[in-house]
Structure 1
Amino acid sequence: MVKPSLGFSTVIALALVLTSAIAAFSQRREALQHGTLWRTLRFDGIERTYRIHVPLKYDGKKQVPVAIVLHGFGGNSKNALEQGKWIEKSEKEGFLAVGLDGTLKSYTVRNFLNNPRSWNSGDLTLDPERD
């Protein structure tokens, strides 16, 4: 069985995205409009992207839960939010859904097969203890 592991820089980047999203929500609740918003932040010299889905019932007057959505290897936040039904669930339950994008190995190669998005998790390792 193949078992992925998260690298330290990935964990730091995820924490920064989450912190940035929470800070943005707490400071600018009234500025968030219904729909799926695309945002960027820069960490460690790398521009990172994420999407925030704001449900129609969100009015900025009270705190709501935030779900962090991570896509699979080679995926992206748009597909993870849409295909994973997070947008529908966000609308139904009233939480904010934040889809994070992994990074590309090279920003000059724009080819999925040669340069898929990933979470900087290092090499996949075999785990003989698991089926």
Structure 2
Amino acid sequence: MTETIVDGSVRDLGGPYPRSVGGSSTYLDHLYDSAGSQVAVLYGKANVPMRLGGGDVAEYSDERIEFSDGVVETQGFYDITRAEKGAWQYLPAVGVEGRYRGMVGKRHFKITKLGKSLVGWIELCPAGKAAR
């Protein structure tokens, strides 16, 4: 999938977001399949709560991804410093409505243009089942 950031806001508390502890953002994204069709709307919020060893900063994101047939929520920490440099990251994902209800997995993503676009995929399986 590709992901386009449609709108959002940034708060630079503590210094420039996302490089400084205290910064935060909200975002509205559209997710598209390989054919270019929009498949979901993502509502998210993020904050930078701490600096990691080595100088990187961690970001905590909380997202609601609405597909036409269900909803997936993600939340967790990842290394935003590495993500800005194009490293793959992931957030734990839980299906909460529709066909995804009761499923667990990960939302993998890679920033392609900071503040503009990402690529990635979501993998889910029924809780208690191993992903293949």
Q: Which has the higher helix share?
A: 1
Which protein shows a greater Rg? 1
Instruction: Using structure 2 for the length normalisation, give the TM-score.
Output: 0.29
Q: Which has the higher strand share?
A: 2
Higher relative contact order (CA 8 A, sep 6+): 1
